[in-house]
A and B are shown apart, each in its own frame.
Chain A
Amino acid sequence: MDLFFQLLINGIIVGTLYGVVAMCFVLIYKSTQVVNFAQGEFLLIGAWICWYILVQFQIPFVFGFLITLVFMAGLGIFIQMVVLRPMIGEPIISVIMVTIGLSIFMRALVNWLFGQNAVGFPEVFSTSSINIGGLYVQPAYLMSFVISIVIMAGFFYFFKYSRYGLAMRATAFNQQVAQSLGISVKQVFAMAWAISAMVSALAGVVVGMVNGVSSALSFIGIKVFPAVILGGLDSIIGAVVGGLIVGVLENMAEYVDGQFLYWGNMLTIAPFWVLIIILVIKPYGLFGTKDIERV
């Protein structure tokens, strides 16, 4: 039973991280109508850049991390302006192809610059597990959990109370309406990409600290798709819940598989099974918006 709870805890911790990346995905989808298949590569690039700065310049983690965030914000805005702004008004399939191309390009670029091999992150938090009520949790994981919760609270506050958050929601609702209110849609688009890239990089650094930095980081981007679609593609809360479900499911599948079934590798496919089942029952996902209709 201990293993069960251990995996449940792991699932929740990983799930919140998926939730954070899923939120970044939804942020871009909601405000700019772009399905960003290069989301996982933001984690990859963020982790590598942070690693490079820390190893190369030997500066304290906090500064290296801040520089990474600034770099990622710039990268997000750059990609939005150079790659995606010309695609405004093009068919959705073209935009998807562009983001897939972008993901391949960024992965190749990172492989070329930093090599294929995984490298360890300079130790920031102790990697030896600590014991909380009989369950072992790595401090880095605990940190990731706390950071994820803080980010989620930050997103909530941002969209509910800040004027830029309101402007983003208005733009997501209708761009012409947003413009009539004096909101610059270009600015909102750039902001969405900047925030999404920064927060994804943060998630990348957290995962990199635990598992080491390698191209495997970009696979989190793929894990996030079932989470996002489960939640309903345009719902921030749905992204969080979807992320949690996928994280817990993975670990539960591992438990069931390891204890009873011995099929092997169930953890990678279980989220997709559940995704299919939920989409059959609720085609818009768990929290997908249905338009308000007054009758």
Chain B
Amino acid sequence: MSASAAAAETPAATPAREPILSVNNIEVVYDDVILVLRGVSLDVPEGDIVTLLGPNGAGKTTTLKAISGLLRTENGEVTRGEVRFMGENIANMAPEQIVRRGIFQVMEGRRIVEDMTVIENLRLGAYTRKDGAAAVKRDLEMVLDYFPRLRERTGLAGYLSGGEQQMLAIGRAMMARPKLILLDEPSMGLAPLLVKEVFHIVRKLNKELGMTTLLVEQNAKMALGAASYGYIMESGKVVMDGTQADLLDNEDVKEFYLGGGGEHRKSFKNLKSYKRRKRWI
């Protein structure tokens, strides 16, 4: 599926909408000395898919962990700025409190509990829910309907294929009924066909369940295909942002993230001067 065809499917961003999550100029320090994020701001409107793109080490995962509170498990801290979720500043809160408020992070590399079965993993996702066993059971059925191939897997989750594990990780997040889901590189280590399937599911969940998603990706083409708005990060800063159409049309994004790009190939000499001009290559 081409990026432009995917674009037609996603709802257009309406800028007037109140963001459910707004990150204001946060600074993150690891181990009290290592400055990783230097003023990151972004908004996620309710019901949208927003993507965060950028090269390795730009701070995308750190941004997600700052939002979900998992930063604390790695001795990191938000030292400046605030993370507002539904009006409340949740920066530096314990991760279990943030999950209870409705933010659920699907960590990079799936991170399912390998020595549990599929069903046990899914039930674990509902750990923080208080609305009773019947509702959880209903959602379990719903998740299994979304991922029919998980239904057939009765063994330990550790033996699932990479794609199935990713689906299980997303399904486990759905079980928590989060208001905002943070997806960290769902395409990592998956075959291209499975990447397509995973993104198809992300879009489907967004459309059918209104799942608000903040998506971190290396695969810019797929991510921009699904998202209505995108941010591009480099060395701990947001260097560019725009709607899906803006970013897909942007010559620089085309060249450095989507491949191919402009009609004529730039010479290497120009590229170097360009690098000096724009910091976010």
User: Contact residues of A with B, CB < 8 Å?
Assistant: 160, 163, 166-167, 169-170, 173-177, 179-184, 289, 291-292, 294
Contacts and interface: CB of A to CB of B under 8 A. Distances in A.
Interface stretch (B28-36, B48-56, B119-127, B200-208): B119-127
Interface string B84-116: 000000000011100110001101000111111
Interface in B150-181: 156, 158-159, 161, 172, 176
B127 A177 contact: no
7 contacts: A163-B127, A167-B127, A173-B114, A181-B124, A181-B127, A182-B128, A294-B159
Nearest to B165: A294
B68 interface: yes
B70 interface: yes
A184 B94 contact: yes
Contacts of B112: 177
Instruction: Tell me if A's interface is mostly helix, strand, loop or mixed.
Output: helix
B127 A183 contact: yes
B73 interface: yes
Given A180-B104, A289-B115, A292-B159, 10 more contacts: A163-B126, A163-B127, A166-B127, A167-B127, A181-B99, A182-B96, A182-B128, A182-B176, A292-B114, A292-B158
B125 A166 contact: no
Of all A-B residue pairs in the complex, the 10 with the closest CB atoms, nearest first, are: A182-B99, A292-B158, A182-B128, A179-B95, A184-B96, A173-B113, A292-B114, A177-B111, A182-B96, A176-B73
Contacts of A291: 114
Contact of B113 (A174, A179, A294): A174
A173 B123 contact: no
A163 B105 contact: no
Contacts of B70: 176, 179-180
A67 B128 CA distance: 31
Contacts of A170: 113, 116, 124
B190 to A, nearest CB: 13
B115 A180 contact: no
Given A182-B99, A182-B100, A182-B176, A175 B73 contact: yes
A294 B124 contact: no
Given A184-B94, A294-B158, A174 B127 contact: no
A169 B73 contact: no
